[in-house]
Chain A
């Protein structure tokens, strides 16, 4: 049973990890936790849904278009909303992201209604692919793990190996010094929001078959992703991924061994505990500025 618990924790944890990573990318870039992340992912998931069911596209082209849409949505948030703020403090920007979240929520409610829909991915939820004494894995579970892993790997390579990644890291650390070296900080910021929106969108599509597709479907994953990010350390990319997996594990073990009713509270207890004892998260290391 424990083996099964761990495997399903990894599956749900990898979705948390994606949400946490999405939060972390924008948080590192702007010092602002983007609370509209969930709704942006929800919108993108609806786009996938429409492409799949109304336009009859197959999964991969639909995914490709969704990624494009998500990127655009990220750019829109940065360009039309955040950038327009005059001498903003982080709090102003947080409020803007909450406003954007409510806008998207309202928009989705108006367009698609609060009716719950079923998204049909080419991965079956019931077909068991791996089955042994320790655990069983459905097709959807496996696809979730594989896709999440690929996304994490791509993001890692992007940030560690490319010039864009270097510019992102530079802007995260010192905006003025980045400008002095010819980096357009605004452009990098917009791209960061675009990329994080893509990561969130993929998490949304993966989580949609487990939940049902409705405008509030991403609330829970977003908050869990946020908790995971706090647990791992908002500013550490590998930290938030481990935080996501860890949160999935803690939650599942708690739910099984202690209390299923309180399972969803665990994440929030973790936020409180982490902020009490290690506010920078488990894996964040940063230089404290002398002077």
Chain B
């Protein structure tokens, strides 16, 4: 693998005295789509929050390198200025700013007016509905529109690496499909994507590489094809029954290797 765009090594993150990440390591190749899968509370969001520096004084141990530069311990805004963008869980758009203002906040660090203008057009091309709502307060948008806005806002910073936390959360299947169709187009723009998802099925379809997280550790990883073929991943995340008992009920008798 060439020099990874993001390299996380043995990161441990604490919430007060509770350790949430127990030595997480991860490498992301430039130009790839990487998915982190896992259940509620596995530590996926914590991993992203640690990378982007939103947790004070964390990570406690370990290093994070972005484009060859060490970024752990830096302020979020400094990390963002180096070319990372974040689509947070629950969207976190600015409710009382208009759609346009939200997008302009996304372009806060940029000075090239022409580039900002053409990027705005590009976002409206990705998500035409945002153009119709341009002067509406973001708080009045539907959940799906807010998600589109959050993605566009992150892209307005022209990031090298885009972190996405559960973009499918709370959206209708049609919208989920649409969001997941957009992600490869984002990659086509030359942006590396790190995607956190519970919807393993959808995520592995578009990802190149995947990590499975459980209880604050990565328990398995591999290319998307390998993971889709993996028996455990199939059974526990993709919902494909491994075997059926005589009475036709599923029996979870197989032991997970990593429990």
Contacts and interface: CB of A to CB of B under 8 A. Distances in A.
Interface stretch (B62-70, B86-94, B248-256): B86-94
Contact of B96 (A169, A178, A181, A183): A169
Residue of B81, B85, B92, B105 most packed against chain A (CB within 10 A): B105
Nearest to A179: B76
B75 A167 contact: no
A177 B96 CA distance: 13
Contacts of B137: 287
B66 to A, nearest CB: 14
Given A177-B88, A177-B93, A182-B77, A287 B139 contact: yes
Given A163-B108, A167-B108, A169-B101, A180 B96 contact: no
A17 to B, nearest CB: 22
Interface in B129-188: 137, 139, 153-154, 157
A284 to B, nearest CB: 11
A184 B95 contact: no
Interface in B67-84: 75-77, 80-81
B80 A178 contact: no
Contacts of B75: 179, 184
Interface string A175-196: 0111111111100000000000
Contacts of A167: 105, 108
A163 B108 CA distance: 8
Contact of B101 (A166, A177, A180, A185): A166
Given A169-B101, A176-B88, A287-B139, A181 B95 contact: no
Contact of B81 (A173, A174, A182, A286): A182
Place the interface of chain A in its size category.
10 to 19
Given A166-B104, A181-B80, A181-B157, A173 B109 contact: no
A179 B95 contact: no
26 contacts: A163-B108, A169-B94, A170-B97, A170-B108, A173-B96, A173-B97, A174-B92, A176-B54, A176-B76, A176-B92, A177-B88, A177-B93, A180-B76, A181-B80, A181-B108, A181-B154, A182-B77, A182-B80, A182-B108, A182-B109, A183-B77, A183-B108, A184-B75, A184-B77, A185-B77, A287-B139
